[in-house]
Amino acid sequence: MCFVHNCTRGKGCLGDDITAVFALPQPYRKRLRTTNGIERLNEELRRRERVIRIFPNDQSLIRLMGSVLMEHHEKWINGKKYFNMDCYFEERDEARRQALAQRADHLQVVK
């Protein structure tokens, strides 16, 4: 059974945002429904902060955290692709074509 069908009462309380991830293609769901990336980044920031312990001023803290965030950004830009968006764009375009076709059929029936 699908999670979405089992939780219709809960969905009413939480709204549509909680199940928005299910509208995406299957390969993207696991990566987008978790906060693992954010948690890993926070762990890295804490690890670097523990080494220094006491910062002499605010600017030194900003420099360290900024360099960690820039390093993380470089990994995202130059590293392995987290998502291959081709599948998503194909499915999105197909869904749009189907919606337009249904709309055109509906307009012809109404006339």
Amino acid 65: pLDDT: 92
Report CA dihedral (20, 22, 24, 29) to the nearest 10 degrees: 110
Q: Which of 37, 39, 40, 23 has the alpha carbon at shortest distance from 82? A: 37
Q: Does residue 50 belong to any structural domain of this protein?
A: no
DSSP state, residue 51: H
Please give the residue range of the domain that contains residue 7. Answer: 1-34
What does each of the 111 residues of the chain score in pLDDT, given as a tens digit?
455 555 555 555 556 666 777 777 777 777 777 778 888 889 999 998 888 888 899 999 899 999 999 998 888 788 776 677 777 788 889 888 999 998 888 877 766
Q: Does residue 21 belong to any structural domain of this protein?
A: yes
- State the total domains in the chain: 1
Cβ count near 66 (within 10 Å): 10
Residue that has been written with the tokens 């030194």 in this structure: 60
Cβ count near 67 (within 10 Å): 11
Q: Does residue 8 belong to any structural domain of this protein?
A: yes
DSSP state, residue 85: T
